[in-house]
Amino acid sequence: MLKEALAQNGLIAILRGVRPDEARAIGHVLYEAGFRVIEVPLNSPDPYTSIRTLRDSLPADCLIGAGTVLTPQQVEQVKAAGGQVIVMPHSDANVLRAAKAAGLFLSPGVATPTEAFAALAEGADVLKLFPAEQVGPAVIKAWLAVLPTGTLLLPVGGITPDNMQVFIDVGAKGFGLGSGLFKPGMTVDQVASRAQAYVAAWKALS
C-alpha cells in the first residue's frame, strides 16, 4: 500500500514539530492538496496523539507514519497509535525487524550503498536518502545502476519545488518534504499554499 500511495503522489509530508491541536487541520489541507503519506517525527510535541488524530480524521488511502523512530519500543508505540509507516534517519536492523514483525511499512534512512542493500535485505519498502544535500543526483544514478530493479529512492533534506527535476531525471521516485513544507508556527493557510506548490511541481515533472 505504501508503494501504491507513492505512485499516486511521491511526496511525503514531514510534520516535525506539529502539535496535536493543529494536526487535524494541517492533515486535511495536505490531503486536499494531494498528499497520501504524512509523517509525524517522534521528536515533535506529543507525537503519538498527533498520529492518532491524523489516522482518525483522514481517509484510509492516506497513510500515517512516524519519523525519527530509533527503538523497537517506539515501533510498538507507533502501531498502538494507529501509525502505519516507520521512517528512520538510519537503518538499525533491530528497528527494521521490529517494524516488519509489527506489520508496518518501512522507510529507513540510508547514505551508503552498504546501508541500502542491508536495509532492503531486512525488508525495507522504500529507501530514504538522507541527507539529500550530501547524497546528490550523481550518487543516486550510480546507486540505481546496482540496486535491485524497482527500488524506490526518496531524497530527503533541502528539497524544494525548484530542485526536484535533477533528482527525478536520475531516477528518484519521490521526496520527503520537511521544513520547506511545514515549520512550527506556520498557519494552516501557509501550509496549504506550500503543499499546493509542491504538488503542482511534482505533477509537472512526474
Active-site residue list: 39, 128
Residue in 75, 23, 76, 77 with CA at minimum distance from that of residue 53: 23
Phi/psi of residue 37, nearest 5 degrees: -140, 125
Number of C-alpha atoms within 13 angstroms, CB side, residue 117? 7
Cis peptide before 155 (omega within 30 of 0): no
Phi/psi of residue 121, nearest 5 degrees: -65, -25
Residue in 114, 97, 118 with CA at minimum distance from that of residue 106: 97
